[in-house]
Amino acid sequence: MSAILEVIRLRKHFSTIEAVREVSFQVKAGTCFGLLGPNGAGKTTTMEIVEDIITPTSGQILYKGQPRSSAFREEIGIQFQHTSLLNFLTVEETLKTFSRLYKEPEDLEEIINRCDLSALRKQRNNRLSGGQTQRLMLALALINRPQLIFLDEPSTGLDPQSRRNLWNIITGLKNEGKTLILTTHSMEEAEYLCDEIAIMDQGTIIAMGSPEHLIQAHCGLISIILPRSAWTITAHNLPFTIQEQDNEVIVLTPEIHVGLQTLMDLGINLKHVSIHSPNLEDVFLHLTGKKLRE
């Protein structure tokens, strides 16, 4: 699968601050690429450079193997997290206005149906809920039939049902061969939508790979958590690591069934056991020392 976008040794200075330092990555056509990082990591600056909103200090960005030309902006769509829309326009009027900016816009009925805006077409922009506004923002990003779509924290502030509906739309776009670049503060969202993820911290990429690869490489062990009162072993030689904290004993094992069977063979009471499988949140905390929203 060829790369539709290549970012090569990207750097950006703001006065004495180096916001982006030697960032390089590739985005394969037809995939969803996630860019994650704590506040101040440089991901927003990186996205704005790639979107051709701000100019890099140095580095190169290739689109379809060539430097970006004037056609680049015609072929991308951007869903901004915050955009001011004219309050007195309706959803339908807003879509019609934006469609006139492009040479070959998408059919409005197709956009309205895809983003579930049929019941809202006569609603004024200032009367939309958070989830409805996000669907409209996505519709505006799709109106020029983009091949490459940028999504800036698309589900922020949405309720679980609205978030799931938005994910379904994004999954449908990917299934059609569209390429997406996503920033998010939701590890669940990244794990569900992204084929590959780059984690940024202090202006650099500190890890990159598929969600499964990142979890296995950095947090591959499963935690079996027991109350201290259930840990009756005084002398033992177990094939896994034991951690004790507060009123719990944590058994770290690469294979859950092996760990549980060993504990049962030793007569450990598993009545109050809990199990934690590693996820992207664990990877992020391990690599950056902080949670994503800090």
Q: Are residues 25 and 128 in the same domain?
A: yes
The verdict on residue 35 lying in a domain is yes
The two tokens of residue 166 are 């938005």
Q: DSSP character for 286? A: H
186 lies in the same domain as 64: yes
Total structural domains in the chain?
2
HSE-CB of 268 using CA atoms within 13 angstroms: 25
Please state the rounded mean pLDDT for residues 185-193.
88
Alpha-carbon span 120 to 6, nearest angstrom:
38
Say if residue 263 is in the same domain as residue 209.
no
User: Do the domain assignments include residue 284?
Assistant: no
Phi-psi region of 250 (alpha: psi -120 to 50; beta: other; left: phi over 0): beta
Same domain for 162 and 250?
Answer: no
- Expressed as residue numbers, the domain containing 243 is 221-277
Helix, strand, or coil here: 68? coil
Identify whether residues 112 and 245 lie together within a single domain: no
Contact between 59 and 23 under an 8 Å Cβ cutoff? The reply is yes
Same domain (yes/no): 249, 191: no
CA 247 – CA 96 distance, rounded (Å): 61
pTM: 0.83
Largest distance between two CA atoms of the chain: 76
Report, as an integer, the average pLDDT of 4-24: 93
Strand order in the sheet with 3-14: 17-28, 3-14, 58-63, 66-67
DSSP string, 188-199: HHHHHH-SEEEE
212 and 234 fall within a common domain: no
Q: Would you state the structure tokens that stand for residue 162, as one six-digit string?
A: 């609205």
The residue with tokens 């069934």 is: 257
Is 290 part of any domain? Answer: no
Q: Is residue 52 part of a domain?
A: yes
Measure the CA angle with vertex 202, ends 196 and 208; round to 5°. Answer: 15
On whether both 118 and 133 belong to a single domain, the answer is: yes
Residues 49 and 177 in one domain: yes
Q: Return the pLDDT at 139.
A: 93
Q: Are residues 160 and 227 in the same domain?
A: no
pLDDT for 291 beyond 70: no
CATH number of residue 98's parent domain: 3.40.50.300
What are phi and psi for residue 128, nearest 5 degrees?
A: -85, 145
Are 20 and 69 within one domain? yes
Tokens of 157: 């502030």
Write the pLDDT tens digit of every residue in 233-284: 765 677 778 888 888 888 888 888 888 888 888 888 888 899 988 888 888 8
Q: Alpha-carbon distance 281 to 96, whole Å?
A: 41
* Digit-coded pLDDT (tens) for 76-119: 999 976 677 788 899 999 999 999 988 889 999 999 999 989 99
3-state secondary structure of 26: strand
Q: 185: Cβ–Cβ under 8 A, 6 or more apart, which residues?
A: 153, 156, 292, 293
Check residue 105 and report its DSSP letter. Answer: P
Percentage, residues of the chain above pLDDT 90:
49
Same domain, 106 and 246: no
Neighbours of 236 (CB within 10 A): 9
